Amino acid sequence: MKKKILLIEDDEKISEIERDYLEANDFEVEIIYEGKLGLEKAVANEYSLIILDIMLPGVDGFQICREIRKSKETPILIVSAKREDIDKIRALGLGADDYVIKPFSPNELTARVKAHIARYERLTGKSNDKNLHFGNLEIQPEARRVFSDGKEISLKNKEFELLLFLAQNPNIVFSKDRLFDRIWGLDSMGDTATVMVDINRIREKIEPVPSNPKYIETIWGAGYRFKS
């Protein structure tokens, strides 16, 4: 069964872009263009996640967020053109789980939607699948196994731990120092060059084209990021 997203957004063009990307990732999307009806839908029905604009006709996003939180813990992702810190603080204080500023990357929005749904399902015990899926790549944390196109990939212990850590924290840039401390530990022998060596080994094993990585990106001058 597809996970259902409620999208409360009065900009038709933006809502259609969001819907198209989410539907391409196998979500079912219901769009509401004004606040009052959006609030009624959010309270009366069950959704996997709610995407909410702030500036809406009828009832604004802040009030909708406040009312939803009186009865539901459904993840709420605010998408707004309001850029001031006070607006972000207010939204998060009212119970929103995340705040995305317009204009945004549809791919990043989709990744955040997936992450918040997965986190909510883990916290509520609704998730039956603890494995991680990224296109043709599957990572099984408990079994410590990795598959690409259904074929098992052999990884050494540290390679697996490094890949798993990056995959469990998608779209976040980690420096080589941070990764070395996290995977090898502060007291380990070696240096951050070890990270680069293992990243290259992992790419050779999981990337369709290692020289043009699909999963593990190099962010020059900053570190590495797993692209969800």
pLDDT of 34 reads 94
pLDDT of 16 reads 94
Rounded CA-CA distance 85/155 in Å is 43
Q: How many C-beta neighbours within 10 Å does residue 159 have?
A: 20
pLDDT of 207 reads 93
Rounded CA-CA distance 195/177 in Å is 8
pLDDT of 128 reads 56
Q: H/E element holding 225?
A: strand 223-226
pLDDT of 184 reads 85
Rounded CA-CA distance 79/82 in Å is 9
pLDDT-flagged residues of the chain (< 50): none
Contact between 141 and 200 (Cβ < 8 Å): no
pLDDT of 125 reads 66
pLDDT of 215 reads 94
Name every residue whose Cβ is closer than 8 Å to that of residue 113 and which is 6 or more positions away in sequence: 5, 22, 27, 49, 51, 77
pTM for the full predicted model: 0.58
pLDDT of 48 reads 94
